[in-house]
Amino acid sequence: MRSAWVVLTGPVCSCIQLYTGLFFVAIFIAILRRRQPEIPQPAITPPPPATVPETSPPSSQQDDIAIDYHVPRLPYNEDTIVALISDIYHIYLQLNYIDPSEFVWAPLPDGHAINQTLCEELHLDPAVISLMKRLPYPLTPNLADDIPFMPLSRMFVYLQDDQIRAGRDPDRWGFEEPRLDFLLPHEIALCCETDQGIHIILDTKENTIRVWDFDDPPPEDDNGNDYRKLYPHHAPTYLASYINKLHSLEIIPIHWRGHRGLWDKHYTGMYPKIKKTLQEQYGWPYDFREAEWKAASKDTFEQLIHFG
């Protein structure tokens, strides 16, 4: 009987052991699956909708924002305007664009002896008369014609009566009788266009400059062009920005064989060579060898223009 029981129980034990082993294997696999880290799926960023606005507006819109943003301006300061215009001429002297003998600086303390009686007859504001007395000028109007103050524009020489009259109507004086009441009494034309350039009109009450561009004239009114509708630039900022262009050689004053001009990148052949020569060979602007440049500038232009 005992041997029979052993025979019967042997297979049963084997089955029990088999099922027990399978049970523990299943538990072990389950534990491994729980502990196995999930592999993150790459995030797919959906394309932005077509109507998503730009984070910053383009430059043209930024200009419009600046124009529409009104802040109180500092009052007009004659010393500032005189200093900025004088700085422009000092740069012209450094770069051998003009000669010291071609210009006259306002004597101290009273300035130039202009025709103040004529100015008063024209009802000019005292601030305009005072500025006329303090500005530096080319010696003569003919010399002013040959020395652009800004590209394609020349200074008025208010040392002479006819220039005082001409300055009251910068747009017409060159070909017809100037309208003596065209500018407001507190405005002064700093320069006028010579060949499709610009008129620069300073308003001493607003401390602004209006730039009358030949290529973009102001709208017409009953008396001609209504320049008062032009955008009023902050006067010191406008003049300072031009000085920055001279410092960076974005504009280069050129005096060669009696010709004077203000060159920029549109002079594709010579402009980059002259700019590199001034900066790398003569140290413009912070280590500028002014005397060496003045001695060599004419020969340098000759070589670059003819043999560059």
Domain spans, the chain: 75-245, 267-308
Quickly count: other Cβ atoms within 10 Å of residue 226's Cβ: 13
Q: What is the mean pLDDT of residues 235-254?
A: 98
DSSP-assigned states of every residue in 53-121: PPSS--HHHHHHHHHH---PPPPP-HHHHHHHHHHHHHHHHHTTSS-GGGEEPPPTTT-----HHHHHH
> How far apart, in whole angstroms, are the C-alpha atoms of residue 270 and residue 265?
9
- Among residues 162, 210, 219, the alpha carbon closest in space to that of 190 is found at 210
Q: What is the mean pLDDT of residues 6-22?
A: 52
Q: What is the mean pLDDT of residues 18-28?
A: 58
Name the burial class of residue 32, with classes exposed (0-12), middle (13-18) and buried (19+) by CB atoms within 10 angstroms of its CB: exposed
pLDDT of residue 258: 86
Residue 134 confidence (pLDDT) above 60: yes
pLDDT of residue 161: 98
226 confidence band (pLDDT: 50, 70, 90): confident
User: Can you tell me whether residue 301 is helix, strand or coil?
Assistant: helix
Give the global pTM: 0.77
Residue 13 confidence (pLDDT) above 90: no
Sequence-distant (6+) residues with CB within 8 A of 268 are none
Residue 101 confidence (pLDDT) above 80: yes
> How far apart, in whole angstroms, are the C-alpha atoms of residue 235 and residue 206?
9
89 confidence band (pLDDT: 50, 70, 90): very high
> How far apart, in whole angstroms, are the C-alpha atoms of residue 86 and residue 209?
17
pLDDT of residue 238: 97
8 confidence band (pLDDT: 50, 70, 90): very low
Q: What is the mean pLDDT of residues 41-65?
A: 47
pLDDT of residue 156: 97
- C-alpha distances in Å from residue 62, one per residue of 20, 87, 230: 79, 30, 18
Q: pLDDT tens digit string along 163-179?
A: 999 999 998 887 789 99
pLDDT of residue 268: 81
Sequence-distant (6+) residues with CB within 8 A of 120 are 129
pLDDT of residue 5: 39
The tokens describing 89, both together, are 């001429």
pLDDT of residue 48: 46
Q: pLDDT tens digit string along 179-218?
A: 999 999 999 999 998 877 899 999 999 999 999 886 666 7
The tokens describing 240, both together, are 């300072």
Residue 105 confidence (pLDDT) above 60: yes
